[in-house]
Amino acid sequence: MNELQVYLFVALILFCLGLTGVLQRRSLIAMLISVELMLNAASLNFMAFNRFLTPEPAVGQIVTLFIIGTAAAEAAIGLSIILAVFRRYQSIDIERARELKG
Amino acid sequence: MLDGLSFELLMAIVASMAPVLCFGLIMVFTRRSISASVTVGIIGSFLSWFASLYLFLHYFHAEEAVVFKGAWVVSASLKIPFGYYFDPHSLLMLMIVATISLVIQIYSIGYMAGDPGKSRYYAFLCLFSWSMINLVIAPGLLQLYIFWELVGVSSYLLIGFYFEKWSASEAGKKAFVMTRAGDIGFFIGIIILMLTTGHLSIAVFGNAAEVGNTGLSQALLTLSAILIFSGAVGKSAQFPLLTWLPDAMEGPTPVSALLHSATMVAAGVYLVSRIFPFYAASSTAMMVVLIIGTITMLLSSTMAMTARDIKQVWAFSTISQLGFMFMGLGAGAYFAGVFHLTTHAFFKALLFLCAGVFIHHFETNDFFEMSKAGARKMLIPMITVTIGVAALSGIPPFSGFFSKEAIMAGLAHKGNIWLIAGLLGAAMTAYYSFRVIFVMWFPKGEVEEHGHGHEGGHDDGHGGGRWAWVTEWSMLSVLLILGAITLVLGFFQKELEHFLTGHSAEHHGSQLILVLALGCALAGVILAWFEFGAKNAKQEGFLSRMKSVEALFSNRWYMDHAYRKLLDYVVYGGITNTFTRNDRVIIDGGIDGLCRFTVSLGRAVSRIQSGLLQYNLYLTFLVVALMGLYFLLV
């Protein structure tokens, strides 16, 4: 197992943790954190490929910077949605907000 | 489009277009003001009449037909002209139409006084005369057909003029639909001609020498001639499409006069006489024309014998006289048919307008009641109606005598059986028309005097005292003019024959026929005198002793019942019902079923949506993962 594969393996574990968190946790804050984990896994992938495979180092780093920026924005929006949900249901439990059904 | 704008062409345009201009003006601008509309209408028809008179006199001695035309549709093998075609026949007819339209518009000043719809009425009259004038001077069958239909539309509008009355709107609809039934045949006939000869020019079909050169086979020629004749059957109310005409009496009386003399019903006879050489080329078609004419004439004469409504009597007499014209044409007597059309136009307009005066004055249509109310005190209408009836029954020296005699001569030429039918018809005509006259001149039983005398004018609210004489004389002067024409027209037979056919044959009827025709007419008159006129007459026809025959005649041979049954069982019961059911069950049912399927599918699928966000996420990831797998493997 070379070094690239190690990084990719770590990123995979991170992504799976995030996915499990999003799908399993009932708390909206926990789900948001899990989404951040998935984004980080993606960033890690970019950095790893950038370090080991490309001769030009700048591109992957720029993309990673973008991801961090989007993640920040996403966290801001997500938190404000969570606030709104809390005001509506007095709770941030996802099971309480189930009006979107047929 | 039209080559060179000469003065004659200008006059032709004025003659044909003035009425439609007036129609537009009245409908758009002067509809609110009745007097303005009347002025516009009368000025328009006067212009049209004047231009027609000019054209008539100008072309009276023209050697051959004068044509102004432009190509309307030109395709590889197809040429359809559009414009004006003046030959003696169309000029004569143009003159009749323009004259009758003018006098009827003048008459209507009085007759329609106080009617709130008078503007609309004048607009429709203008539309009517415009369509008829253009029909008459059409150079091609297609133009003729277009204006033919416009005549149908405007007669529909006028018959249903009192549309708030149920029977009037029904009568308008009936007239329109029944004439349409014949027009279908007419249109198919035109299409056959167009497909086989590539043109529809009247110059060709109206010329004996050229009909043979069109390359039509005899069978096709006969077929198209009979199909075109079916249009004439509808328009001229011939058997079996004759029941619309008596119902068309629902319109105002001047409209009936216009409809029965120069426009609507004359169009059918005009069509056949217009392309007469085309008919003459097929003996079968001529025989069909002759037979239909004979049946119609006899049927409608019997119907007229029992009617008590003066307008109904005139309506049936119109049908029978039209049948008479077709008999003349079918027997090959071209001039006799056209001559009878001409004289009939004037005396029938006269009869209807007289009836209009009586109806206006006594407010009833029943001539027995008119008689009781003192109809014989109205001297001018009484004298003119007598002149008209004498012309209708063929009593010399009135115009109808000459034209009827000409037709009799033609029928005798064809065969004795037709002559006998014609004589029988003439006797019946004399009987039923003099029945009206005798009843009106010699009232029996108690006579109740009408409240206001004839001299006092119509002071019943409309017209206004100062203008009463206008209302009065607009009607009476027209009666006098038409009466005068009816008196003298017969003496112009020679001139007209020369004008129409180019040669005036010597009197081709034998003395015997003359005596026979006169004898039959007189027999009818005498019978009517003993039953209705004489001092101790009971005013009951001989038919009232034969109840079943009388019922048959007064129910119009049950033709209306037959049509009613046909409508109820075949059209409404069969066709309409089937289509309604198809609509309800198959189309509506199909759409409803589709809707219900969609809704229930939606209900079923919506169970998946539990509202729990994470199930949706599961599904999303599952799909993305499967798609990823798919792309990896493929």
Secondary structure of B347-397 as H, E, C letters: HHHHHHHHHHHHHHHHCCCEHHHHHHCCHHHCHHHHHHHHHHHHHHHCCCC
Q: Is the pLDDT of residue A65 over 90?
A: yes
Backbone phi and psi for residue B201, each to the nearest 5 degrees, phi listed first: -75, 135
Reduce the DSSP state of residue B79 to 3 states and report it.
strand
Q: Which residues pair with B366 in a beta bridge?
A: B309
Chain A hits for B620, CB-CB cut-off 8 Å, are none
Instruction: Determine the Cα–Cα distance for residues B265 and B233; give it in Å rounded to an integer.
Output: 9
Q: Supply the pLDDT for residue A9.
A: 93
Q: Does B604 touch chain A (CB under 8 A)?
A: no
HEC profile of B524-548: HHHHHHHHHHCCCCCCCCHHHHCHH
Peptide bond connecting B254 to the previous residue in cis, omega within 30 degrees of 0: no
Beta strand ranges found along B52-120 (DSSP E): 66-75, 78-86
Chain A hits for B606, CB-CB cut-off 8 Å, are 101-102
**CB within 8 Å of B627: residues ≥ 6 apart:** none
Q: Does B548 touch chain A (CB under 8 A)?
A: no
Q: Does A16 touch chain B (CB under 8 A)?
A: no
Reduce the DSSP state of residue B608 to 3 states and report it.
coil
Distance in Å, alpha carbon of B591 to nearest chain A alpha carbon: 25
Chain B hits for A94, CB-CB cut-off 8 Å, are 612-614
Tokens of B595: 């809707």
Chain A hits for B619, CB-CB cut-off 8 Å, are none
Closest residue on chain A to B620 (Cα): A23
Q: Does B617 touch chain A (CB under 8 A)?
A: yes
Q: Which residues pair with A93 in a beta bridge?
A: A27
Q: Supply the pLDDT for residue B456.
A: 40
Q: Does B611 touch chain A (CB under 8 A)?
A: yes
Reduce the DSSP state of residue B157 to 3 states and report it.
helix
Instruction: Determine the Cα–Cα distance for residues A30 and A21; give it in Å rounded to an integer.
Output: 7
Tokens of B272: 């056949």
Closest residue on chain B to A31 (Cα): B614
- Residue by residue, DSSP assigns B230-297 as HHHHHHTT-TTS-THHHHGGGS-HHHHHHHHHTSHHHHHHHHHHHTHHHHHT-HHHHHHHHHHHHHHH
Do residue A101 and residue B609 have CB atoms under 8 angstroms apart?
yes
Q: Which of A22, A99, A101 sits opposite B617 (nearest CB)?
A: A22
Instruction: Determine the Cα–Cα distance for residues B366 and B306; give it in Å rounded to an integer.
Output: 12
Q: Does A94 touch chain B (CB under 8 A)?
A: yes
Q: Supply the pLDDT for residue B467.
A: 63
- Picking from B603, B609, B614, B616 by the largest number of A CB atoms within 10 A of its own CB, the best residue to mutate is B614
Evaluate whether residue A22 is within a structural domain: yes
Distance in Å, alpha carbon of A98 to nearest chain B alpha carbon: 4
Instruction: Determine the Cα–Cα distance for residues B507 and B511; give it in Å rounded to an integer.
Output: 10
Distance in Å, alpha carbon of B169 to nearest chain A alpha carbon: 56
> Is ipTM beyond 0.85?
no
Q: What torsion, rounded to 10 degrees, do the Cα atoms B104, B110, B116, B120 define?
A: 20
Instruction: Determine the Cα–Cα distance for residues B42 and B268; give it in Å rounded to an integer.
Output: 27
Report which residue type is found at B1.
M
Evaluate whether residue A40 is within a structural domain: yes
Distance in Å, alpha carbon of B606 to nearest chain A alpha carbon: 5
Q: Does B610 touch chain A (CB under 8 A)?
A: yes
Q: Which of A94, A99, A102 sits opposite B614 (nearest CB)?
A: A94
Do residue A100 and residue B611 have CB atoms under 8 angstroms apart?
yes
Evaluate whether residue A77 is within a structural domain: yes
Q: Which of B607, B612, B621 sits opposite A98 (nearest CB)?
A: B612
Q: Supply the pLDDT for residue B447.
A: 59
Give me the mean pLDDT over the A44-49 stretch.
90
Q: Supply the pLDDT for residue B600.
A: 93
Backbone phi and psi for residue B185, each to the nearest 5 degrees, phi listed first: -60, -45
Closest residue on chain A to B606 (Cα): A102
Closest residue on chain A to B618 (Cα): A23
Residue A45 near residue A68 (C-beta atoms within 8 A): no
Instruction: Determine the Cα–Cα distance for residues B401 and B336; give it in Å rounded to an integer.
Output: 12
**How many CB pairs (< 8 A) connect A and B?**
30
Q: Does B607 touch chain A (CB under 8 A)?
A: yes
The CB density around residue B601, as the number of other CB atoms within 10 Å, is 10
Instruction: Determine the Cα–Cα distance for residues B178 and B234; give it in Å rounded to an integer.
Output: 6
> Among residues 63-92 of chain A, which lie with CB inside 8 Å of chain B?
none
The CB density around residue B100, as the number of other CB atoms within 10 Å, is 26
pLDDT in tens, B142-153: 888 989 999 988
Residue B210's Cβ-count burial label (10 Å; 0-12, 13-18, 19+) is middle
Do residue B611 and residue A23 have CB atoms under 8 angstroms apart?
no
**CB within 8 Å of B415: residues ≥ 6 apart:** none
Residue B612's Cβ-count burial label (10 Å; 0-12, 13-18, 19+) is middle
CA distances from B257 to B100, B101, B241 (A): 9, 10, 20
**A73-90 per-residue burial string, b: 16 or more CB within 10 A, e: under 16:** eeeeebeeebeebeeeee
Tokens of B286: 């001529």
Q: Which of A23, A97, A99 sits opposite B617 (nearest CB)?
A: A23
Q: Domain residues for A24?
A: 3-97
Residues of chain B with pLDDT under 70: 1-5, 445-467, 503-510, 536-539, 541, 543-544
Q: Supply the pLDDT for residue B461.
A: 42
Evaluate whether residue A57 is within a structural domain: yes
Do residue B608 and residue A97 have CB atoms under 8 angstroms apart?
no
Backbone phi and psi for residue B67, each to the nearest 5 degrees, phi listed first: -125, 130
Tokens of B95: 């003159």
Chain A hits for B614, CB-CB cut-off 8 Å, are 22-24, 94
Q: Place A84 in a pLDDT band, splitting at 50, 70 and 90.
A: very high
Do residue A98 and residue B608 have CB atoms under 8 angstroms apart?
no
What is the domain count for chain A?
1
Q: Supply the pLDDT for residue A36.
A: 93
Distance in Å, alpha carbon of A51 to nearest chain B alpha carbon: 25
Evaluate whether residue A102 is within a structural domain: no
pLDDT in tens, B80-139: 778 888 888 888 888 889 998 998 888 888 888 778 888 888 889 899 989 999 898 888
Do residue A94 and residue B621 have CB atoms under 8 angstroms apart?
no
Residue B341's Cβ-count burial label (10 Å; 0-12, 13-18, 19+) is buried
Evaluate whether residue A69 is within a structural domain: yes
CATH number, domain with residue A59 = 1.10.287.3510
Percent of chain B with pLDDT over 90: 5
